């Protein structure tokens, strides 16, 4: 049994913390607006703030939406940093800026503690099933200490490199996911407008070289018109903003990433910020004046 802290208990953090509790660890919890009652019932301990979590734990996980939220969780009054003492480990599993991650890591290390960035891929389904892919940046020895806990939450766990490299891998992941959603949306829209049954086209493609997890899961959502998250468009917009912002600093063009961001922007302009990111297809449908499944 280890003393663990978990800050940020949304649709991802709640099942992830739940796996740690079920494994028999002592887990201290903090989240806004409150700690879910289900975790308390399972044996988790609610704390008043991040400072109390850090005081109670040797390894503290963070799972919040964006870079400013991580900064606040760590360094605001009564934040995690105020409860740290030498030798503790902070693990940020949020998806945030690689550049600011390096700054956060340096500040935590200056307190005599260690830091891993460990963003995840797999969404709510992966969090609930403990099948997340986890991309880690940090010291190898610290990674090896935390890996048994990662294995309670995910299946594909990779040490990518130093601090910030885990976040860089996650940004790359989100670029690929966005572009694949766009490709699947275009293909199913094309098939439907041409008069074919999009559900059967998807089924046929699942057996060929075009097969992908996104065609399987998100293609089905496009066909069935089920755009409840999942993973919200506004969060994917955040990730692509990170990609495009870092690319500008690197002098790198990402034309198709930019196109996907504009399609997400169109969805948001039509009230779709909280749609599942498979809802990107709606922007394509608006341009085509045609919906998947509609009769040509």
- What number of residues does the chain have? 296
Structure tokens at 30: 């903090």
Active site residue 170: yes
Residue with tokens 């964006």: 66
Which residues, other chains included, contact 240 with Cβ-Cβ below 8 Å and sequence gap of 6+?
A: 174, 175, 178, 257, 260, 261, 264
Which residue in the list 170, 224, 249, 295 is annotated as catalytic?
A: 170
Please list the active-site residues.
170
């Amino acid at each position: 049994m280890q003393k663990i802290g978990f800050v940020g208990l949304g649709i991802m953090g709640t099942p992830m913390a739940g796996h740690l509790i079920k494994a028999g660890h002592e887990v201290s919890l903090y989240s806004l607006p409150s700690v879910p009652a289900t975790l308390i019932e399972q044996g988790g301990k609610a704390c008043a703030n991040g400072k109390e979590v850090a005081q109670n734990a040797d390894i503290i996980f963070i799972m919040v939406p964006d870079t400013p939220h991580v900064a606040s969780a760590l360094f605001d009054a009564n934040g995690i940093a105020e409860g740290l003492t030498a030798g503790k480990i902070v693990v940020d599993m949020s998806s945030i800026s690689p550049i600011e991650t390096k700054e956060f890591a340096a500040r935590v290390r200056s307190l005599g503690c260690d830091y891993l960035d460990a963003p995840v891929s797999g969404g709510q389904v992966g969090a609930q099933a403990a099948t997340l892919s986890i991309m880690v940046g940090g010291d190898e020895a610290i990674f090896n200490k935390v890996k048994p806990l990662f294995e309670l939450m995910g299946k594909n766990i990779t040490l990518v490199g130093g601090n910030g490299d885990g976040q860089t891998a996650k940004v790359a992941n989100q670029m690929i996911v966005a572009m694949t959603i766009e490709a699947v949306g275009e293909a199913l829209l094309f098939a439907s407008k041409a008069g074919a049954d999009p559900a059967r086209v998807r089924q046929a493609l699942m057996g060929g070289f075009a097969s992908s997890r996104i065609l399987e899961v998100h293609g089905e959502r496009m066909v069935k018109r089920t755009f409840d998250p999942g993973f919200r468009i506004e969060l994917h917009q955040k990730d692509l903003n990170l990609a495009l912002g870092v690319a500008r600093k690197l002098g790198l063009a990402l034309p198709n990433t930019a196109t996907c961001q504009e399609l997400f922007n169109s969805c948001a302009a039509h009230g779709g910020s909280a749609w599942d990111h498979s809802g990107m297809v709606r922007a394509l449908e608006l341009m085509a004046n045609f919906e998947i499944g509609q009769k040509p």
